[in-house]
A and B are shown apart, each in its own frame.
Chain A
Amino acid sequence: MRFTNTLAFRVLGTTLLLSTVLVSTLATVLNQRLGDGIRESKIESALNESQSKLFQTENRFILAEITSVADFRDAIDRTITEFADTRGNERNPEVAILQANSSAAVFYLYERATNQIAKESIPADLRAKVQATKEMQYTYGKIVYTSTYLTPIAIERKVPALIVGGNFTIENFGKFELYFLYSTAPEDSTISLISRTLFIGAIALVLVLLFIVWAASRQVITPIRGAAEIAEKLSAGDFAERMQVEGADEIARLALSFNEMASALQSQITRLENLSRVQQRFVSDVSHELRTPLTTLKMASDLIYRQRHDFDPTISRSAELLSAQLERFENLLTELLEVSRFDAGVVNLEPEVVDVVSLVEKSLDALTPIAQEHGSTFHYKHPSDPVLTVVDPRRMDRILRNLLSNAIAYGEGNRIEVEVRTGEKSIAIAVRDFGIGLRQGEETRVFDRFWRADPSRERTRGGTGLGLSIAQEDALLHGGVIEATGRYGKGSLFVLTIPRDRSEELTERLFTLTL
């Protein structure tokens, strides 16, 4: 059995599908929530920190008592330097001080940032919002580092960041904006670590689930598989095997009832076998018990029959009747026993290689005298070459004799045509008479036991009423069939078709069943 056809495969497949959907949904949601949480707490702490640093800076400028441009520059430089010094810790932000356009009395542009971050790091819309309100504003962006140090071309490096900004005023120098650029790299790496962990966890979970389901299903599947194997053995005729019964669960009940079924089957079959043996025995006993006295009867009757002319006419006629009826009785007994053998299924074929053409020839020769008594003549058409095939010659001869006797009995003294045809896969013999024929619906009934088309008339013909049904059984035994057709008053056609290879089903028909 292919694995894809097994119950285990189906169970595991379903589990894989459902658990993948479930676990991946769970992991996605978890991943989302954790990421959001981390980002929110980052924003919150960044806002708080920025707020307090903004106050500190603002206060510092107030306390610095800036009187000159130099003071102003110095204060800004120092502020930036101090911020830059804190950059040893990655959690601390880059800082930029930008000057808002203002209508201050003295406008002196002096903007500074830690680590030479580019001014483009601060998005324009954030600046607009920062200038508009007193509240801290934030957005996500990128810190752009431009390094010209020792390189002819400026090298840009971008780091994703949370950018928080607020404004403050330096007396006499106007409004300024202070921006804190927090790198989000640590959080991003945390989030991606969480995602990775969740992903690996999800796969592991699915695998574990599969394993659990596999282990659980094995407990069910193993006994079922055992039951299936034993059932196969049962159907193959081996009744010795039984399922093992362990515990008292459903599987144990299955095993118990399965075993009961097997025992019931076994005893039933044994009973039938016995019955068939008894039947066989009976047939053989009847055969022996009847045949021996019948032999004595026949011999005695023969003796009397041969000397019938020495007796007076009534006894002489009685001797004739006795002799004829004994023969009829014998035929009937023989055919009844044959039928009962078919019924008991104790017939067997004794196949030989036979030339069908000459086999038919012989049967025709044997029946020619009887045909002539009835005024019929045989007309035999056959292939010029011998037709060799494997059949039981005695049964074939019996089929032919039955078909021919039937044609003679109902042929009304007209010609009887016999033809052998050969096909690729079968051989057919047709017997056609031009006598009484068959009425509609009688084509199949002719093969019934003791069936007679016209009870009052045809009993005189002496047949046993079993001939055609025995012929049909013989044909079936060869894997073949006899089919009949006829028209009332025009005659009938019987076709025996047998396959060349008995094991193959008969599909070919060499004669059309129409008259």
Chain B
Amino acid sequence: MTLIMVVDDDQDLAEMLAIVLTGDGLEVDLVSRGDQVMEVFRNSPPDLVLLDLMLPGLNGIEVCKLIRAESMIPIVMLTAKGETTDVVKGLEAGADDYIVKPFQTSELLARIKARLRRTAAPAVASSKLEFGGVSIDLIAHEVRRGDKVIALTRLEFDLLLALAREPGRVFTREALLAEVWGYRHSSDTRLVNVHIQRIRSKIERDPNQPELVLTVRGVGYRAGNFTEQK
């Protein structure tokens, strides 16, 4: 069974979410205070966290940071405020995606499923991709620089993999949203920007002068440095 942790202080909404998610065959843990999240999280580790930003006890962004310090599981923020700064703060704190209240039930379920689904293993025989001193192990879902394992969230891994699999291709932000996040219609390209920044800060030698994930001005991103294959 897949366990979803729903963190929201609004009892009615939490109950409604529980009804909908259980109706869709998911298991649900309800937490209503920010400062209770980590205890529940450790006792019964969920497969995904639905996290409201405005919480009593400890706010959602702090909670997000705490979870990220321990786990790479998908986090989807629930925000009542579509305010840019909150969204970006949440994404920078490590959330994979966000959904703005009020949302369609179907949209919420689609997002959750997209986050739970693993990127299908490539049809190519090789189980390892290497570029610019970084190796991606497709089976172990691991990224290494040298012997050092770099901790990436699932989403970051998928994003990096999407770029790395087609080295020559320039991906638009919309294409990445569709491929990695599972959005059919383009929505918020900032999602891509923030996560690219996060990946860079983890895998680049100098995040300010990226060599592996390059920006193509006015278009999007592409993977770089494949000529230096080891």
Contacts and interface: CB of A to CB of B under 8 A. Distances in A.
Interface string A292-325: 1111111110110000000000000000000000
Contact of A388 (B84, B174, B189, B218): B218
A296 B104 CA distance: 10
Contacts of B188: 394
A348 B82 CA distance: 13
B20 interface: yes
Interface stretch (A36-44, A107-115, A246-254, A350-358): A350-358
B81 A298 contact: no
Interface in B15-41: 16-17, 19-20, 23
B12 interface: yes
Given A294-B102, A298-B102, A299-B17, A386 B218 contact: yes
A306 to B, nearest CB: 8
Interface stretch (A181-189, A256-264, A283-291): A283-291
**Which among B54, B106, B186 has the greatest number of chain A C-beta atoms within 10 A?**
B186
Contacts of B209: none
A443 interface: no
Interface string A386-408: 10100001100000000000000
Nearest to A289: B80
Interface residues of B, number: 29
Contact of A352 (B19, B20, B105, B189): B189
Contacts of A393: 189
Nearest to B53: A288
Interface string A468-494: 000000000000000000000000000
Contact of A353 (B80, B83, B101, B217): B217
Nearest to A302: B105
Contacts of B106: 302
B190 interface: yes
A296 B12 contact: yes
A298 B54 contact: no
Contact of B81 (A284, A302, A366, A388): A284
Nearest to B20: A299
A288 B102 CA distance: 10
Given A287-B81, A350-B84, A388-B218, 20 more contacts: A284-B81, A287-B82, A291-B80, A291-B101, A292-B10, A292-B80, A292-B101, A295-B13, A296-B10, A296-B12, A296-B16, A298-B105, A299-B16, A299-B17, A303-B23, A303-B105, A334-B82, A362-B174, A362-B186, A366-B185
26 contacts: A287-B82, A292-B80, A292-B101, A293-B13, A294-B101, A294-B102, A296-B16, A297-B102, A298-B102, A298-B103, A299-B16, A299-B19, A299-B105, A302-B104, A302-B106, A303-B23, A330-B102, A334-B82, A348-B84, A350-B84, A350-B190, A355-B218, A355-B219, A362-B186, A393-B189, A394-B188
Interface of A: 284, 287-288, 291-300, 302-303, 330, 334, 348, 350, 352-355, 362, 366, 386, 388, 393-394
